[in-house]
Structure formats: structure tokens, C-alpha cells
């Protein structure tokens, strides 16, 4: 006969209270969720851009009693920028006049600013915003140089021109 060993079985086996551990885990989870702050996005550029759909000026009929209060229809000043295959500026046109050709150097950018400034500084301003139409190949660095020049322009009341937008040139 084989001999069997009989072990005493502890009827009160080891019991582990998991409730306290789960409570602590949920408290830590809640703490980390409430104190988490995402890192800010680097290089974020916030622009207030109008939709790229061309807008037409609707002529409003003048009503009686508003003859002296009529405001002139203000339009967008259009800059057309063509680019080389490498992404550099090839030509900058103000409406249909060429105002710069070749790469944008600091002197070229200053010259563009001098050409645009009189259009906004005179008493009878026809423009209230600048729209830059850019070639698909143009690098953003070159575009931002032009946006900076346009944003530095002053209106006759001394306020800076705040409406600068850009769209991709339609071919």
C-alpha cells in the first residue's frame, strides 16, 4: 500500500483584499486624467482666412435719406505671385503691373511695401484687404514674407491692415 501523506488543509486560505487596490488604481487614474496638460503645438500659425470662393460685390440700391451716408464699395487688392520650379518667387504682379521679378531679397520686399503703401495711405482708399494669389510651387517662407509686407500697411486712420488672405492661383 502506498503511503499517503495527508496535509492539513487550512480552511481559512489566503485571501487578498483587492478592493483597496482597485480603489487606489482608480484614484490614481482620475488624478492623472485631471492633471494632464497637452503640450502646445509648435509652429502653429493662426490665420483668419476668408473662404477661397470668389465673392461678388452686390450693388445696393440707395434709399431715400441716405445720399450723404453712402460708403464706397471697397475691393480687394490682388497680388499675383508666380514661382519657379524650385519654389522661389519668379514674379510679383500688383493687379496687372509687374512690381518685382526674381528672388525676394530684403530690398525687393521693401520695394513691394513702398509700391503698395500709397494705395492704402490716400484719403480715398479703394481697397480694404489684400488677396495674394500664389503659384502652387511657391514655398511658404516666400509667401509669409509677402503676407508680412501686406500686414504692415496702414489704413488712412492709422490702423494696420488686418485683412490679408491667400489662395492658390487658378490655371
Q: What are the residue ranges spanned by the domains of the chain?
A: 75-168
The per-residue pLDDT for range 125-160, each reduced to its tens digit, is 677 788 888 888 888 888 888 888 888 888 777 777
Q: What value does the mean pLDDT take over residues 23-46?
A: 83
Q: What angle do CA 102, 125, 70 make, to 5 degrees?
A: 150
Q: How far apart are CA 146 and CA 92, in angstroms?
A: 10
User: Residue 46's pLDDT is what?
Assistant: 64
pLDDT band at 95 (very low <50, low <70, confident <90, very high): confident
pLDDT band at 14 (very low <50, low <70, confident <90, very high): confident
User: Residue 8's pLDDT is what?
Assistant: 64
pLDDT band at 71 (very low <50, low <70, confident <90, very high): very low
Which pTM value belongs to this model?
A: 0.54
The answer to whether 89 and 138 are in contact (CB under 8 A) is yes
Cα end-to-end span (Å), the chain: 101
User: Residue 69's pLDDT is what?
Assistant: 44
Amino acid at each position: 500500500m502506498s503511503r499517503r501523506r495527508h496535509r492539513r488543509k487550512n480552511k481559512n486560505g489566503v485571501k487578498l483584499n483587492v478592493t483597496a487596490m482597485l480603489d487606489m488604481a482608480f484614484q490614481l487614474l482620475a488624478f492623472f486624467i485631471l492633471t494632464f496638460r497637452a503640450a502646445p503645438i509648435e509652429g502653429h500659425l493662426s490665420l483668419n482666412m476668408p473662404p477661397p470662393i470668389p465673392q461678388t460685390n452686390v450693388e445696393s440700391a440707395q434709399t431715400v435719406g441716405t445720399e450723404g451716408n453712402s460708403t464706397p464699395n471697397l475691393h480687394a487688392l490682388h497680388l499675383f505671385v508666380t514661382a519657379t520650379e524650385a519654389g522661389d518667387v519668379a514674379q510679383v504682379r500688383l493687379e496687372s503691373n509687374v512690381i518685382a521679378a526674381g528672388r525676394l531679397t530684403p530690398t525687393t520686399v521693401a520695394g513691394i511695401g513702398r509700391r503698395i503703401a500709397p494705395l492704402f495711405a490716400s484719403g480715398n482708399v479703394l481697397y480694404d484687404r489684400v488677396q495674394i494669389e500664389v503659384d502652387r510651387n511657391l514655398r511658404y517662407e516666400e509667401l509669409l514674407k509677402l503676407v508680412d509686407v501686406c500686414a504692415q500697411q496702414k489704413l488712412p486712420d492709422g490702423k494696420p491692415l488686418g485683412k490679408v488672405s491667400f489662395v492658390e492661383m487658378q490655371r
